[in-house]
Amino acid sequence: MTDIKNLSLGEKQRLFVSMVGDLIRFAYSIGLELSLGDGYRDPRLFGQVGEEKGYGRSGSNHKLRLAIDLNLFKDGKYLTKTEDHRPIGEYWESLGGSWGGRFNDGNHYSIEHKGRR
C-alpha cells in the first residue's frame, strides 16, 4: 500500500479518484448500489479552506478534492444509517482512506490531509 501521508496534494487527489473507483466496484460486488452526494465543494460557494461559508466546514477535504459523500441503496431502498455504510466504510479504511462513520458522518469517504479528514 502507498504511504498516503507522504504524498503531495496532487498525488493524493489522483489516488483518491482511483480509490473511489475501487470502493464503488466493491459496494456493487456485495449487492449495494450508490449515488453520488457532495464531492468537490467550490470555494465560490463554500469558501476557501479555512473559511466557513454555506454548509461546508472551514477545513473540509471536499474543498481539496479529497472527499466524497455517497448515498447508499440496497434493493432500491435508500439506507441512511451510519451502520449501513460499515461494510464499505471498513473496506475504504483498508485502502488507506478515512471513513466518516468513525466521526458521525457515515456517508463520508476521504483521504487525510494535514490532519483533516
Encode pLDDT of 56-111 as tens digits: 665 679 889 999 999 999 999 999 999 999 999 999 999 999 999 999 999 999 99
Number of domains, the chain: 1
**Among 17-21, 39-43, 88-92, the least confident range:** 39-43
Per-residue pLDDT at 45? 64
Confidence of residue 43 (pLDDT cuts 50, 70, 90): confident
Residue 88 CA to residue 50 CA, distance in Å, equals 29
Of 117, 30, 35, the closest CA to residue 70 belongs to 35
**Domain limits at 30?**
4-110
Is pLDDT larger for residue 39 or for residue 16? 16
In a domain, 116, yes or no: no
In a domain, 61, yes or no: yes
In a domain, 115, yes or no: no
